[in-house]
Amino acid sequence: MSPPRRVLVLGATSGIAQAVARVYAAKGARLALVARSREHLAAVAADLAVRGAEVVLQRSADLCDLERQRTLVAEAEQALDGLDVVLVAHGILPDQQACRDDPRQAVASWDVNFVSAATLMEAAAERMARAGRGTLGVLSSVAGDRGRADNYVYGAAKAALTAYASGLGQRLHGTGVTVLTIKPGPVDTPMVAGRNLSPRLVADVDVVGRRIQRALERGERVLYVPGKWRWVMAVIRALPIRLFERLRLSSEPPSRGV
């Protein structure tokens, strides 16, 4: 029997991260969990312990604090006695109009969704490459495949994160570390609550969590989840720019601002 997996989840209170952690918990994994809210994190850790996990570390931290990232990863590695899997899963879905009105909100969302996620990946990659093994997963999004009028601030960050993960994966080739870029479509989590999405577009979070866990264990490099999004986004990316721009004319008038 193989030893329990040693898993670090950064952004452990996000809906998708919890779903992945529940799968690992059922398999008896050893978990290190990091998230901003101490109270929410404690509740998540207690739930995972009941499901079979050994939670060896809980840390409440602002993952945008670049000065603390390497320390957090080092503490997790020490507590787990190594890192088999690291999942970078924190992020926010900003209000597009608010970001247009106030550039500071756009920049703040980029700090969370791209800058801090990328630097967390580097911090984890450094420790994992030194050990010569492991899988590093990061939650990107199908929104990064092509910028759309209703969420291009968010999509821009995810596009940058996807490109960063691709480059990091190539840099780590031959080290024993693989990088998995995870591109979910809309998932039934608090992040999409109130977004008025068609139920047909919103995936069950536990189904998504199981698929992500399998991809992490198989050493996959890019995962669209649910899988239909690979083909949907291939079509959207292939649309000529003029046709792509016309598709939304009926849903929002052009801005009259400068």
Burial 47-66 (b: 16+ CB within 10 A, else e): ebeeeebebebbbebebbee
* Annotation marks residue 154 as catalytic: yes
Sign of torsion, CA 19 22 27 31?
Answer: positive
What span, in angstroms and rounded, lies between the C-alpha atoms of 31 and 58? Answer: 9
Task: Report whether 64 contacts 123 (CB < 8 A).
Answer: no
The angle formed by the CA atoms of residues 215, 216 and 218, to the nearest 5 degrees, is 60
Q: Of residues 24, 152, 154, 224, which has the active-site annotation?
A: 154
- Give me Rg for the CA atoms of the chain: 18
- Token reading at 126: 């450094």
E strands, the chain, are: 6-10, 30-35, 54-60, 85-88, 134-139, 177-184, 222-225
What span, in angstroms and rounded, lies between the C-alpha atoms of 80 and 31? Answer: 7
Active site members: 154
